Amino acid sequence: MVEFMDYGGVLEKIHTAIQPTLGRGKVADYIPELASVSPRHFGMAVVTVRGEVHAIGDASTDFSIQSISKLFALVLALKAEGEALWTRVGREPSGTPFNSLVQLEHEAGRPRNPFINAGALVVTDILCTRFAVPENALSEFLQKLAGTADVHYNRRVERSERSHSDRNAAMAHFMRSFGNLRNPVPQVLDAYCRHCAIEMNCIELATAVSFLANHGRISATGEQVLDASLAKRLSALMLTCGTYDSAGDFAFRVGLPAKSGVGGGIVAVIPGECGICVWSPGLDDSGNSHSGTLALELLTTFTGRSIF
């Protein structure tokens, strides 16, 4: 249905165009493991639904996936819990930066969506209920999606995250006071911090996310991860909620469903066509990769392949 697109050539054009911007933005610095990463890294990969892999720059270098894990944790929780999950977490953009506690208060402990921290804590709570060792369940799931055995946790990142988790602990206890967290807070925080500490590279992540572009099916194995309708709907959720408080602006500029992390990675999807991952650690004010966002904007400009 879609005409041939030379993604290899497109990636080279992007790589050239993006050079002057490398180093812009600010690397996340709340934990030393993220603060010490060079902001000049740049990698990008496109994996089509037919399994073709295109990559450039540091696309094979592992990085901390951070909040990108929220997307895959959600998929795993949806498979386990079904649509009942939505009684405990909403599907609306959060709108306001930094004040999820305010929203939780107004909305009786039900987070706005599964991509903000509060929502991801509820998703993690569901995984804690459904799986004996939720972190293992998630890493095995990612290995299947990415078609690789190389999905690992960085223990030092995990410990750093855990020692800086007071704000997440506050939200977890707060939701627990509303009955929207079932497992002990420390257990949920342990799993949550481990999820954030997963390390993967652009090629693996582009592969892992490509099932959303492929009607919910893993190209390599044909396994149906989600039904086609739910795969579409998750893409919609990524568009409206996937890039922190600048989802509107991101949709305006890039026009693709995406999920970002403060490690500088962004996964995105062109429905029916490909999964994408870009990585560059310098962040803009909203916490999205500065050069990564620009690279995705160039991708839709060069290819005309935005969803709009």
The catalytic residue positions are: 67, 70, 192, 244, 262
For 153, list phi and psi in degrees, rounded to 5: -95, 140
Q: Least distance from C-beta 48 to its own copies, angstroms?
A: 17
Candidate list 4, 36, 84, 98; residue touching its own copies; CB under 8 A? 98
Q: For the CB of residue 183, give the shortest distance to its own copies in the complex, in Å.
A: 13
Which residues in the 113-142 window bind its own copies by CB under 8 A? 113
Shortest distance, position 92 Cβ to its own copies, whole Å: 4
Q: How many residues bind its own copies (CB under 8 A)?
A: 54
Binding to its own copies by residue 95, rule CB under 8 A?
A: yes
Q: Indicate the Cα dihedral angle 279, 275, 268, 46, nearest 10°.
A: 40
Choose, by CB under 8 A, the member of 64, 66, 94, 288 that binds its own copies: 94
Instruction: Quote the least distance from Cβ 137 to its own copies, whole Å.
Output: 25
Instruction: Kindly tell me which residue out of 42, 141, 174, 211 binds its own copies, with binding defined by CB under 8 A.
Output: 174
Chain residues 228-267 in contact with its own copies, contact rule CB under 8 A: 229, 232-233, 235-237, 239-241, 245-249, 251-253, 255, 257
Site string for its own copies, 196-235 (x = CB under 8 A): ---------------------------------x--xx-x
- Under the binding rule (CB under 8 A), the answer on residue 288 touching its own copies is no
**83 sits near its own copies (criterion: CB under 8 A):** no
C-beta of 57 vs 216, nearer to its own copies: 216
The distance of Cα 47 from the centroid of its chain, to the nearest Å, equals: 16
Answer for the pair 299, 253: CB distance below 8 angstroms, yes or no: no
> With CB under 8 A as the contact rule, which of the stretches 69-77, 190-198, 203-211, 299-307 interacts with its own copies?
299-307
- Residue-level length of the chain: 308
**Does residue 171 bind its own copies (CB under 8 A)?**
yes
Interface residue list for its own copies (CB under 8 A): 1, 3, 90-96, 98-99, 101-106, 112-113, 166-167, 169-174, 176-177, 185, 229, 232-233, 235-237, 239-241, 245-249, 251-253, 255, 257, 271, 301, 306-308
